[in-house]
Structure formats: structure tokens, C-alpha cells
A and B are shown apart, each in its own frame.
Chain A
């Protein structure tokens, strides 16, 4: 049996004295889709950045596709990991002018050698990624002229052009309108059904229940709960998670949660 894409053993993560998770034993395999839910400040982003290898855990073991984290040697392992795991940050910054195509091509970096330039194949992959997020005609647009939602879709396209097997997404639906939220989640879950794995920090338990097969709940005090979305995302758990009563509504086989 091959190594799981992401695995943690007795993982302890904290930030600024706040405990994010205690004794997290968790694994993500190819084909799975996970939602991470929790209230503001519970540490969802911190955990995701730790899982991505961008910050060190307090203790415990963590591995991405067999590479133990934190890396013993930065230089070699970081590129190898970047070919396997993609990370979508919550904030995109563009201090310098740049075109949309250029920004997407950045995702090809881990696949290129030190002296390589982006090939026609890289451009094809980048163009296909733009197509997938509905930015087909935008290749030559200046990034700084994009709207918030367009910029977010561009960030997702950049991640697609990276062609990772493990997608770690910090609030991928930020700035997106309803139709693009649905399109983005469908596109990402298609990736999962074709052999990748996605782990997404989400805010809407309804979206999580509809698009993710599994969920990891962070209660904000180090406690966590992981399992199939049907079992984990319940009105009781959600009320406890967000500290606010919630009602579960069912329509067309989907479950939605509204504040009670």
C-alpha cells in the first residue's frame, strides 16, 4: 500500500499560546475531499499552513507523500513537496505589475529546472487552468485590474497549473459569487474523484456537507473531530462548533444549516 498523501501522528499545533489541535492523528488519502470547519480564530489557517509545511508544528509527526515535516534539508525537499502539494493562501498580493498569464505560470515553478524557461507545454497547462476557472480571455490582462473574485479564481488557476496531488485550500471561496463558489467546489471535487485529494478550510457547513466527503472540526481549544461528513456535520456538532444554535434544513438531498 502506498503512503498516504498527508499523515499526522500525535500532532500538536499552537499559535501565540493558543492551542489549535492536540494529539491530532489524521490521514488524507488520494481521492478524498476534506473540509476543515471551525469558528474564527480556532486555528484553521494555522493548521493548514502547518500541514503544508510552511510553519513548524510544536511536536508530533507530520508527513506529505512520505516526506517528513519539517524538512531536514530545505533545498531539495521543498521542491519535491511543491510538486505534490499545492497551497492556496488566504491573501494574494501583487506589489509589482504582472499579467494574468505570467501569474498562472508561476505555478509551474516546481516543475522547472534551474535554467529552464516556461515551455509551450507549460503555457498550454496554464491556459487550460485559466479556462477551468472561467478566465479564458484574461491571459494578457494586468493582474492589478482584476476584481476580487477574478483575482481569487486566478489564484486557484495558479494552483491548478502547479498540478499537485494534494490541494490545501485556505478559504478557496473568498470573494467568489454564488455561481463561482459552486463552480469552484465542483471543479475541485472533480480533481478529488480523479485521484487527487483536497483539504479546504470552509465557512459554510452546507457547502462542506454538499461537496466534501469528510470533515475535520476544530473546536478552538485543541479538541478536534474527524470523520465522514454525514456523521460529523450535524446540527448538534455545528452548534457546538460555532457557539450558536443552528437548524438543519434538507432540500433535494442536500443539507443546509441556517442560524437558529
Chain B
């Protein structure tokens, strides 16, 4: 368990890394820019084409990437505590499936980007309410029931998505696939996601120690004075909303929500700090944001001018890194 000072130090370093990743994202791209251009763009001065590109295209996209990465990592960390399962991720309860059905239906109907986002958000909320309603049915609320309901709803959504893909016209398929893999090119504005990320941290951090207890079992948490029922409902609601906003902004980007909380937790365990949500939640949000910014920068530069969906890169990078760390994790610490 870290001391408060050490936790703040770690967070300060992560904030530094996040700013660095944003700078990289602003500087990298098919149009070469100078450090002066980046400064110009950030300070609000007028400049040439480079400044316009940075301010108009790269900055909003980088901020959207940061917000989505942060949202997904935070939601993943919360879901892992809620389901007391290290393999949980933000999509495990069907939120992304619902959003995908909404978004792809809107694409099939030829709606505008704004309406598509609205449909995605509505789909995510519908899935969330459906899972919650079904799992909550007779007021018992066990983890396995919640997990099973979520997995089944996700499977149902997957079937609908496959149906839409198979009846969609050929020229729409590419957009749909990009959405499904997660792509920041479709982000309209980074601000809603950034604001929701800040709010998400604000409402969860005061309960971080309660979450530590909840991760050790409901009975223990309750015996130590945690209102288990309301905290669990709260996490479910917050994690679902965070996921819904992230998915609405950039499609279902995989792996960030599963891998980042894990990476942070593995790092904390190697430092002997255990699984302390007070550090894990904000650190996951910062690390997830930075990672997605870097991944998205790669996605739009690696075979420029062609752009890759960022979800492909997060998976390609995330899987080996995760397996490497897992393989090096000591089995015991005697």
C-alpha cells in the first residue's frame, strides 16, 4: 500500500507522461511541424497551415483519444472490482454491444454522424438498463448472475451486429468495421468525454477505499461498515456510463479497458503496493489516456496517408505487452 505522498508522486509522473504523449501526438503526422508551430497552436497565436492542422485536427483528436483511453481504463478498473474478477473489462456486460447495434443501425439508415452518436449512446444505455433490470429481477444481485446476463446480452447484440453487417451495402461496410474496431477519426468533439472522465474520477475517488474492501469480498466490506448494496449499484452505474460515453465517442476500442488496469496493478504489485484503488483508479485513467493517444498517433502515421483503426493497434500492442508482463510476474514473493 503506497503512502499518500508516493501515490501523488506517481500521479504527477503520469500527468507528465500524459502531457508528453499529447505533445508527441501534436507533432507527429504526415504534415511535418516544428516545435514552434506546436507552441503557436497551443498559445493561441495565428500561424500557417501547420498551426491550423495542429489546432483544428490533431489537438481535438489527441484529446478525444486521451479522454476515451482514460474512460475505458477507469471503467475497466471499476468493473474488475465490481465483478471481483481480474478478467472483467468495460464491455463484458454488453455496453459496447448495445452501442454497436445503435451505431450500425444508424449507419445502415444513413443517418448523420451526430445522430449516429446519439443512437450509439442510446444503444449503450438500453443494454445497461436491460442487463441491470434482468440481473436485478428478484432483487438478488449476485456477481455470476450479473456476469451471465451481461454476456448473454452481449452475445445477442453480437448477433444483431452480424445481421446488420450481412445486409449492409458494400460501401457502408468499411465505416461499420472501423466503428466496431474503434476509430478516433469519427470523434466529433473531445469535450463531452473529457468532462465525463473528470466527473467519473471525482465521484469514484472518494469511494476508493470502500472499493478496496469490496474487492476483498462483500461480507468483509459490510462488516467493516461499507454500504455494499449502494456502492455496488453506484459502481455499476458509473462504469457503464463511462463506457457508454467512450464507445459513443470512438467506437468500441478494445484492450485498453482490460489491459491498462492490469498493467497498473502489476506494476503496483511489483512495487509491493498491492491493489489500492486510491492509486489504481487515477493512475489507470492517466495511463489509459496516454496509451490511447500514442496508439492513435501510430494508427494515423504508421502507414500514412492511410489510417488504421486504433482498436487494431491497441490489440496488437496490448496482447504481447500483457503476456510478457504476466509471464514475468512472480508467482510468489517469499
A145 contact set on B, CB distance < 8 A: 332-334
| B4→A96 contact, CB < 8 A | no
Would A110 and B225 count as touching, CB distance under 8 A?
A: yes
Binds A, one of B16-24, B132-140, B171-179, B212-220: B212-220
Q: Does B192 interact with chain A (Cβ within 8 Å)? A: no
CA separation between A109 and B272, bound complex, in Å? Answer: 20
Q: Mark B202-217, 1 if CB is under 8 A from A, else 0.
A: 0000100100110111
The CA of A115 and the CA of B86, in the complex, are separated in Å by 26
**One of B145-153, B273-281, B305-313 at the interface:** B273-281
Chain A stretch 51-102: residues in CB contact (< 8 A) with chain B:
52, 54, 74-75, 78-83, 86-87, 89, 92-99, 101-102
A97 touches B275 (CB 8 A): yes
Partner of B3, one of A49, A96, A109, A117: A117
Pick from A80, A83, A102 the residue with the most CB of B within 10 Å: A102
Give the total of A residues in contact with B, Cβ under 8 Å.
Answer: 41
Judging by beta carbons under 8 Å apart, are A96 and B278 in contact?
A: no
CB interface residues, A 19-69, toward B, < 8 Å:
49, 52, 54
* CB <8 Å contact, B275 and A98: yes
B227 within 8 A of A: yes
Distance A142 CA – B227 CA, assembled complex (angstroms):
28
B168 touches A (CB below 8 Å) = no
Is A99 touching B220 in the complex (CB atoms < 8 A)?
Answer: no
The complex places the Cα of A34 from the Cα of B219 at a distance, in Å, of: 22
Cα distance, A144 to B334, chains bound together (Å): 11
Q: Is the CB of B224 within 8 A of A110?
A: yes
Does A140 reach chain B (CB closer than 8 Å)? yes
Contact B333 A140 (CB under 8 A): yes
Please tell me if the beta carbons of A115 and B1 are within 8 angstroms of each other in the complex: no
Q: Is A209 located at the chain interface by the 8 A CB criterion?
A: no
Residue from A79, A99, A118, A141 in contact with B225 in the complex, judged by beta carbons closer than 8 Å: A79
Main SS of chain B's interface residues? loop
Chain B contact patch, size range: 20 to 34
Q: Which residues of B contact A162 (CB under 8 A)?
A: 224
**Among the listed A80, A110, A141, which residue makes an inter-chain contact with B334, where contact means beta carbons less than 8 Å apart?**
A141
A105 within 8 Å of B (CB atoms): yes
One of A95, A140, A144 near B84 (C-beta < 8 A): A95
Question: Is residue B31 contacting chain A, with contact meaning CB distance below 8 A?
Answer: no
Q: Is A244 an interface residue (CB 8 A)?
A: no
A52's partner among B223, B227, B274 (CB-CB below 8 A) is B223
* Besides the known contacts A97-B265, A114-B206, A117-B278, 19 further A-B residue pairs in the complex with CB atoms under 8 A apart: A54-B223, A82-B225, A92-B217, A93-B216, A93-B217, A94-B216, A96-B275, A97-B274, A97-B275, A99-B274, A99-B333, A103-B216, A106-B213, A106-B216, A109-B209, A109-B224, A140-B272, A140-B333, A141-B333
5 interchain pairs (CB within 8 A)?
A: A89-B223, A96-B275, A98-B275, A99-B1, A106-B224
- Shortest 10 CB-CB distances between A and B: which pairs? A82-B225, A79-B225, A87-B223, A74-B227, A117-B4, A96-B275, A142-B333, A145-B332, A102-B274, A78-B225
**A-side interface residues toward B, CB under 8 Å?**
49, 52, 54, 74-75, 78-83, 86-87, 89, 92-99, 101-103, 105-107, 109-110, 112, 114-115, 117-118, 140-142, 144-145, 162
